[in-house]
Every structure is written in structure tokens, then in C-alpha cells.
Chains A and B, each alone.
Chain A
Amino acid sequence: MTESELLQKIKDSPADFSELFNLYYKPVFGYIFRRTGSFDDTADITADTFLKAFKHIRYFSYRGISVKVWLFRIATNEVNMFYRHSRKKNSLFEKLDFENKQQFIQLLDNDKEALEKELQQHEQFLKILNALKTLSTKYQDVISLKYFEGKNNKEIVEILDMKEGTIKSLLSRGLKKLRKKCNHL
């Protein structure tokens, strides 16, 4: 099934959103995890991203940008919102009505343990991520998409909805700043 067919299917029957969720939850979760380096924040931001996507998918019109790019765009916005208002943020999980909340918390704890172990195995990445987090979010966006996610400039242009020249300039300035920070490590 193509993306546009899946999109139409979801518009006709919103419950089919689960297909899109299962397809993209892990990539989006991974992207946010590599942005924040925190399991708890990632779980919360990813849930927020998919809840927003679910509520607004009927507005999404297929005009060249893929659903994956659209989800990455929402995720990027959510991460930046999180950094701007992190102290005010309430967990979405507290507001959702789970059938069995205890079981969900248990599953979440299992995933947390596994991913925190995984994160500790990438010491160099952690150092660079901590340095990156001290930069402005506009630099974080382009650097993480380019070097952590392996996206090319065209894909970054689509996700951030910016001109290629702006992306190149942000990358160049951001790398310079990050390199300075990393020299002190």
C-alpha cells in the first residue's frame, strides 16, 4: 500500500491510524531519543507527536512531502517546544486513560532500562549530544538531522521547511560552534 493510499484509509477510518503508528513510531522515537538523550522525555514527546498527528491527520494533504517527513516535522517542533517550556511540561501519560496503567508503566520501565543501557554504550555520542544541547535549537535541528539521522540536505529542507541555503549556513555555523565546545571536552 502506498503512503497516499494509507492516508486515505486513515481519513476514511481513523482507527487505521495504528498502521501508520506501527510503521513510524520507532523511527520517530529514535530521532527524539537521539535529540534528548533521555528516555522519559522521549516517551512523552513521541506520544505528544503522535497524538497531534492523529488529531490533525485529516488536515494533511499529500502534496509532495511524505507522511514520514510530516511526522519528523511535528517531532522537531515538539522537541523545540519541550526545550523552550521544559519546566512547565506535564506528562501526557498522566492525562491518558490506560486500560491497565500499571502494565503500561511496567512495559515503559522495561524499555527504559534497555535503552539507557544502549545509550551508555555510545560514550562519544553522549559527549557530543551534551555539547549540542547547549547550542540554540536551530543548530540542534540541522546537526542532529544531518549527522545523527543521516538525512541529506534535501530531506532536511523538507523537514524544517527552510531554504537549502539557510540549512547550509546553519550547518556551517552550528558545526563551528559545536567543534569549539567539543574541543574543551
Chain B
Amino acid sequence: MQAKNFEERLEQMTKPEVIKLDHQEMLVKTLLSAKDRSAVSWWWLCIPLYIIAALLMKSFYTHTSFFSNIHQISIHQRSVSLLFFVAVPVIFMIINLFTIRKIYFLSGSPKSISFLLQVWFNVLMVILSLFILIVYF
């Protein structure tokens, strides 16, 4: 088959058409009431940030070193410290980086400062996560 003929065949062949959809009305009502059910809330990041703030206060009032306090936590509460100072920030960084990428795509690949205004919270989450990781290590 010639290339030209094949293109003509594609252009001229009949295609299925969607004329009527009965389920449309019911679907829109349900979609408008759909809620996010994400278990990942930014409040989780507040826990390690709170601990860091508490340790900073402790080091200030007891005249001890902040890093030695962190070190003590990592020894005495190993699993808890790994969860809050490593697992939570790493998960948050991954989720937020993916979210930034998704928002970039879904907002029509903007190339302006307005995109930064849309994702400032996600960028902040990435920075805070990085901060927690740096403090811990």
C-alpha cells in the first residue's frame, strides 16, 4: 500500500462517535463531591520539627550541645529517630517533588513566576525535609 493511499484511508474511514452518554449527569455530581483521602499530611513533618525545636531549647537552657542531644536521641530512641528524622523527610521529599512535577504538567507547563507561587508550599516542604535530614546526619 502506498503511503499517500494509506493516509487517505485513515482520513476517510468512518470512526465511532459518542453522541449520548446517560451516566454523565450522575458522574459529575459524584466527582464534585470527591474528597482527597491522603494519609500523608504535612502535620507529620511537624513532629521532627517539634523535636528539633525542643532540642534547641534544651541545649539553650541546659548549656549543652544541640548535636550531642540529637546524637543521644539517635542512640536511645533508634527506631523512633529513624522514622521521624529519616523516613518521614525522605517520603515527604519524594511526594513533594512528584507533586511539583504533576502541578507543572496539570497547570499547562507554565514558564512564569506564577508557577512558583502555586508550588511554594511544596518547595517549603522539600526545604524543611532537607533541613531535618542535614541536622540528623
Minimum Cβ distance to chain A for residue B106 (Å): 4
Chain A contacts of B109 at CB under 8 A? 161
Quick check: which of B30-38, B67-75, B86-94, B129-137 contacts chain A, the rest being far away? B30-38
Task: Select one of A52, A65, A98, A125 contacting B26, CB under 8 A.
Answer: A98
Min CB–CB distance A180 → chain B (angstroms)? 10
In the complex, what distance in Å separates the CA atom of A182 from the CA atom of B9?
11
Residue B3, interface by CB 8 Å: yes
Give the A-B contact count at a CB cut-off of 8 A: 133
Contact of A22 with B105 in the complex, beta carbons under 8 Å = no
Of B17, B27, B29, the most chain A CB neighbours within 10 A belong to B27
Binary contact track B47-66/A, C-beta < 8 Å → 1, others 0 = 00000000000000000000
Q: Smallest distance from the beta carbon of B54 to chain A beta carbons, Å?
A: 36
Contact mask for chain A residues 117-129; partner B; CB cutoff 8 A; 1 contact, 0 none: 0110110110010
- B114 / chain A contacts, CB cutoff of 8 Å: 61
Q: In the complex, what distance in Å separates the CA atom of A98 from the CA atom of B25?
A: 12
- Of the candidates A25, A26, A30, which one forms a contact with B28 in the assembled complex, judged by CB atoms under 8 Å apart? A25
Cβ of A87 < 8 Å from any Cβ of B? Answer: no
On chain A, the residues within 8 Å of B118 by CB distance are 59
In the bound complex, CA of A115 to CA of B23 (Å)? 13
> In the complex where A43-B23, A122-B14, A148-B15 touch, is A65 in contact with B108 (Cβ < 8 A)?
yes
**How far, in angstroms, from A52 to B34 measured CA to CA in the complex?**
11
User: A47 CA to B112 CA in the complex, in Å?
Assistant: 30
Complexed CA–CA distance, A22 and B20 (Å): 12
B1-12 interface bits toward A, Cβ cutoff 8 Å, 1 = contact, 0 = none: 101001101110
Q: Which 6 A-B pairs have the closest CB atoms?
A: A59-B107, A30-B18, A56-B106, A147-B10, A107-B23, A107-B22
A sample of 16 inter-chain contacts (CB < 8 A) reads A18-B28, A18-B29, A29-B18, A47-B27, A61-B110, A65-B108, A97-B33, A99-B29, A128-B10, A147-B7, A147-B10, A147-B11, A161-B109, A175-B3, A178-B6, A182-B1
